[in-house]
Amino acid sequence: MTFAFVVGRVVFVVAVAVTVAAVTIVGPGRLVETRRTFRERFDAIVPYVGLLAVVLVANKVARDVGPEVSELVGIRITGWLRRVDGRLLWPLYPNDTPQVVAWLQSMATPELTAYFSLVYVYGYVFLLVFPLVAYVSLPRPEPIRRTMIAYGANYLIGVLCYVAFVAYGPRNLIVEQAEGLLYTQYTHYQFVTNAVNDETNVFPSLHTSMAVTAALLAWTTREEYPIWVPISAVLAVSVVVSTMYLGIHWATDVLFGIALGWVSVAIGRRFETTPPTVSGFKDRLDGLKNAIPVRRR
Amino acid sequence: MVPDGVGDRRAFLAGATGAIAAASGCLGGMRNLAGRARTDQLSLRISTVPASHDPYAVRIANRLAANLERAGIAATVDPMSPDVLLRETLLNHDFDLYVARYPSRGDPDELRSMLYSAYGEEAGWQNPFGFSDLETDGLLDEQRTVPDSERPEVIGELQRRIVRHQPFTVVGFPDRIGAVRDGQFEAWPEGGLADPTAYLRLDRVDGKSTLRLSLRNGRITRNRNPIAAEHRDRGALTGLLYESLLRTGGDPADPIPWLARRVEWDPEGSPAATVRLRETKWHDGEAFTARDVAFTYGFLKDTSIGGFDTPVPTPWRRGRLSLVDAVDVRSTDELRIEFTTENRTLAHRALSVPILPAHVWWDRAGSADIAGIDLVGGTTEALVTPNEAAIGSGPLRFEAATADESLSLVEFPEHFLHAGDTGGIPDRLSDPPRFDRVEFDVVPSHDAAVELLAADEVDASADGLGASVVPRIVRADEVSLATDRSEEFYHIGYNCRRSPMTDPRFRRTVARHLDRTALTDDVFGGYGTPAETPLGGRWVPAELEWDGAARLSFLGTEGELNVDRARETFREAGYQYDGDRLVRRAPS
């Protein structure tokens, strides 16, 4: 019941937020136009929708099977993450360098905890869902295609990393210095986060990479939605900080998450005009083969 | 330039040889130097489980790592999920140090399983440290043969030896913290539902017939094999499904006859007994007979039933099996069991291993393979089967499970408790359970367990909770705290097969990096007692009783390590420093 209730509330709040944003940012004109030309627009993105569905199914399988495989073949890197995190603030504190997460939490207040908890759950979902609505409402299909490819790339690369690396977040290791604030203060969210992800899926931070992706995509559509650029930027930065503030991710996860977000957008732009296909992939592979000089007799 | 073709290659080789020959003059001195191994800083991995599974272990590991780090050792805490930790330590013996809770029941004979040299090569809950010491072996054997009155003395000597040699370092005994909901069920035992008999003691207040419990460790939802070492520690939940001849609820000298209706001892001096069985059924409807009991004792000693060159004993409850010498079936409900000890308290221990249905487990004696390929060798199907159907004989029967989410057990109406065959069983246990199903809900953390309790979604927590959630338990309406002393202790395990853990001086020095008083205050939040010995009560010799300081005393004061003293102690033990790093010759 707790689980259904929490999920219901997230869905409701995000639906309201997306509706409000759609009316104010996208505007009634675009929405009406989208409704009218829905079929054509849908046709323009069909191959991409299929691709995203494949990725999401693969991801679901990987998240169920992944942790088990990961337990057997994955490299345990928690110790390394802790070590690297402990050095990142060296320029600020050369003598007694604190852990990034502990440093952030040293500034914690109940208000900040509430803000970051809300952003981590609601803000994040909104940040990902709204672009889909906003970009479907644009007459040119590239932004929505780019978005779907970029989201898919995030998931795919993220899941591969989760299988390859086994890592636990700060809340599971440096418990004296960092608290799993979201889960001790707003425990009910843990039923949801636990259902969508495994606690060893920490490196890299998908929250970060997806948020960064959404913000970078906002920049690519700044002509159409200028107001979405600052909103998404503030939300993305808040999500990124929240992952560390709440003790869920190491700063190193976040750095790699930012890189992944950037790479994903690059991949999205690369394939926004032609969807990646199996034959296309084969062609490129053949091209690669031909590029390597092979001595023939 | 890359030499291409045969001629070029020859020329290249000739040139290279010439160059080496020209330089050979200074080679002698270089070899003397380069032939010596480099020195490297000693680095150690401390394996443990993440805080969401065990908030205590990771804190102890962090403290130890921080103190070793200050003493010049590169120590890394390596968290892994509980079954991976058990697999790496118990089965693969791949660890340097680990921090974990030992699922002790306070029985001195457990030390034999933990430390007996001959078990060092086996995979399972027996001697994971690879510790071997002839004197210790002697004492472990002796405590099995001496009369009860002399046992405390032998055990005392054993504990002294453990403190001296430190095959593992005891940190302390945490209390068992349970949380229960008032109103629907009553007669909750202190500490909550610590073992199977606690479930039977529950009383229901109103007409509610489902007992709802939260569960932190969801391994039972994936694996219900009662002898799988990496998934069992106390076996509290598999103990609801599988039963033993005797149940030891509390006093081991006075066990409850369970599947055995009566145990008749041969006259004094002869270590044998005749066991009469109760009439009951397996969960699949087959009758429970003496053949199942005889099969179980044979099977647990060698799960390959003679099929392999080397016997493959059970990796769980191995020590208890070694107390049984022979089992003879007299009739369908009568057996004669000969023991390797005359001590009846110990023999009771042998009679409390889970009895398995022969018709299910007989087929699991074959070699375990993946798609027909035997990858590991020396492993039987019985040790690796997830045993999903879990056909046992307990008062509760397995009904359904979703991996890492939930488990349902339902009442088994053909159990002997329903037939009123309860002779010898104390009153409060002799009634059938007061609920007709138990629903376990796997929760992601101890906080989440309390959240469900407060929201009236569960009646109790099935496993013990961490001290950090005590304030939440106390704050929640209609939820009470149920704490109890526990025999389980936290310990640092050393892999005595690996250098420098092979060296008792090294282990003794590492042990002195722990401040038990500070640890029990900070880590157990006051819910626990520090200790230096694995057994408490009458088994502790007077000089080892906890009096505020350990025999191997902390190298510092009030939790703060004295770095100079720590390094001095390592130096005295023969270790060398390069600057502030403890260095060893790098293995070539």
Closest residue by Cα to residue B322 from B301, B295, B342: B301
How far apart (Å, rounded) are the C-alpha atoms in residues B306 and B93? Answer: 26
Residues of B in contact with A175 (CB under 8 A): 51, 55, 58-59, 62
Residue B28 and residue B76 in one domain: no
Q: Model confidence at B431, in pLDDT bands (50, 70, 90)?
A: confident
The tally of CA atoms less than 13 A away on the side-chain side of residue A285 is 7
- Which of the two residues, B325 and A297, has the higher pLDDT score? B325
Query: Could you read off the pLDDT of B370-414 as tens digits, one per residue?
Result: 666 666 677 899 999 999 999 999 999 999 999 888 999 999 999
Q: Which positions 14-73 of B are in contact with A (Cβ < 8 Å)?
A: 45, 50-52, 55, 58-59, 62
B278 CB burial (10 A radius; 0-12, 13-18, 19+): buried
Q: What is the mean pLDDT of chain A?
A: 86
Total residue count of chain A as it appears in this document: 297
pLDDT per residue as tens digits for the range B219-245: 999 999 999 988 888 888 999 999 999
The residue of chain A with its CA nearest to that of B404 is A195
With CB atoms and an 8 Å threshold, state whether A172 touches B77: no
Contact check, Cβ <8 Å, B51/A173 = yes
Please list every residue in chain B whose beta carbon sits closer than 8 Å to the beta carbon of residue A76: 78, 80
DSSP β-bridge partners for residue B561? B556
Section A79-106 average pLDDT: 92
Q: Give the pLDDT of residue B229.
A: 87
Whether residue B44 is found in the same domain as residue B140: yes
Tokens 């940040």, residue?
Answer: A127
Kindly provide the ipTM of the predicted complex, given to two decimals.
0.86
The arrangement of strands across the sheet holding B479-484 comes to: B396-402, B406-411, B437-442, B210-215, B460-461, B176-181, B479-484
Number of residues in chain B: 588
Compute φ and ψ for B402, nearest 5 degrees.
-115, 125
CA distance B214 to A215: 40
CATH number for B135: 3.10.105
> Is 80 exceeded by the pLDDT of residue B271?
yes
CA distances from B280 to B155, B288, B298 (A): 39, 6, 21
Q: Which residues constitute the domain of residue B21?
A: 5-36
B45 and B162 together in one domain: yes
**What tokens appear for B578 in the block?**
């390069």
Beta bridge partners of B281: B287
- Point out the residue among B52, B450, B468 whose CB comes nearest to the CB of A172: B52
For chain A, say whether B511 makes contact (Cβ under 8 Å).
no
Same-domain check for residues B18 and B74 = no
Q: Is residue B573 part of a domain?
A: yes
Phi then psi for residue B257, to 5 deg, are -65, 120
Do B519 and B549 belong to one domain? yes
Strand partners, B338: B272, B326
Same domain (yes/no): B44, B159: yes
Q: What gap in Å lies between CA B233 and CA B219, rounded to an integer?
A: 11
Interchain proximity A190–B450, CB inside 8 Å: no
pLDDT score for B287 = 95
Residue B79 to residue A173, Cβ atoms within 8 A? yes
Query: How confident is residue B20, by pLDDT bands cut at 50, 70 and 90?
Result: low
The pLDDT of residue A275 is above 60: yes
Q: Are residues B52 and B125 in the same domain?
A: yes
Nearest CA in chain B to A176: B59
Q: Is B11 in the same domain as B106?
A: no
Sign of CA dihedral A161, A165, A168, A174: negative
Residue B493 · residue B128 · CB < 8 Å: yes
Chain B residues touching residue A71 (CB < 8 angstroms): 81, 83-84
Q: Which residue matches tokens 């790339």?
A: A153
Residues of A in contact with B78 (CB under 8 A): 76, 78-79
Q: Which of A173, A184, A190 sits opposite B58 (nearest CB)?
A: A173
Residue B260: pLDDT above 60? yes
What is the Cα–Cα distance from B348 to B353, expressed in whole angstroms?
10
SS3 sequence, B147-174? CHHHHHHHHHHHHHHHHHHCCEEEEEEE
Work out whether the CA dihedral B521, B524, B525, B526 comes out positive or negative: negative
The residues near A131 (Cβ < 8 Å, ≥ 6 apart) are A147, A214, A217, A218, A232
- Inter-residue contact B89 to B95 (CB < 8 Å): yes
Q: What is the DSSP letter of B281?
A: B
Question: What's the rounded mean pLDDT across residues B421-430?
Answer: 85
Structural domain contains residue B559: yes
- Asked whether the beta carbons of B300 and B321 are under 8 A apart, the reply is yes
pLDDT confidence of residue A44: 80
Identity (one letter) of the amino acid at B424? G
- From B240's Cα to the closest Cα of chain A, the distance in A is 27
> Does residue B53 share a domain with residue B166?
yes
A39 burial class (0-12, 13-18, 19+ CB within 10 angstroms)? exposed
Q: With beta carbons under 8 A apart, name residues in chain A contacting B468.
A: 184
Q: Does B51 lie in the same domain as B164?
A: yes
Say if A282 falls within a structural domain: no
- Residues B45 and B170 grouped into a single domain: yes
Lowest mean pLDDT among A10-19, A49-58, A95-104, B430-439: A49-58
User: Could you give the number of structural domains in chain B?
Assistant: 2
Give residue B4's pLDDT band: very low, low, confident or very high (50, 70, 90).
very low
**pLDDT digit string (tens) for B474-483?**
999 899 999 9
CB contact under 8 A, A71 and B84: yes
Chain B residues within 8 A of A184 when measuring between CB atoms: 447, 468
* Contact predicate A252/A203, CB 8 Å: yes
Higher per-residue confidence, A230 vs A187: A230
- Distance (Å, whole) CA B64 – CA B519: 10
Residues B124, B107 share a domain: yes
Nearest to A71 among B51, B76, B81 (CB): B81
Please give the residue of chain A at the shortest CA–CA distance from B450.
Answer: A187
What are the two backbone dihedrals, phi and then psi, of residue B246, each rounded to the nearest 5 degrees?
-120, 150
Domain count, chain A: 1
Q: What residue type is B496 in one-letter code?
A: C
Chain B residue with minimum CA distance to A76? B78
CB atoms within 10 A of CB B43: 14
Residue A291 in any domain: the answer is: no
State how far the Cα of A5 lies from the Cα of A202, in Å rounded to an integer: 26
Q: Which residues of chain A lie closer than 8 angstroms to B447, CB-CB? A: 183-184, 187, 190
pLDDT confidence band for B2 (50 / 70 / 90)? very low
How far apart (Å, rounded) are the C-alpha atoms in residues A237 and A255? 13
Cα separation, A219 vs A208, whole angstroms: 17
Query: Residues A251-260: pLDDT tens digits?
Result: 999 999 999 9
| pLDDT exceeds cutoff 90 at B587 | no
For residue A294, tell me if it sits in a domain.
Answer: no
Residue numbers of the domain that contains A152 = 6-274
Q: Which tokens sit at B114? A: 């933990």
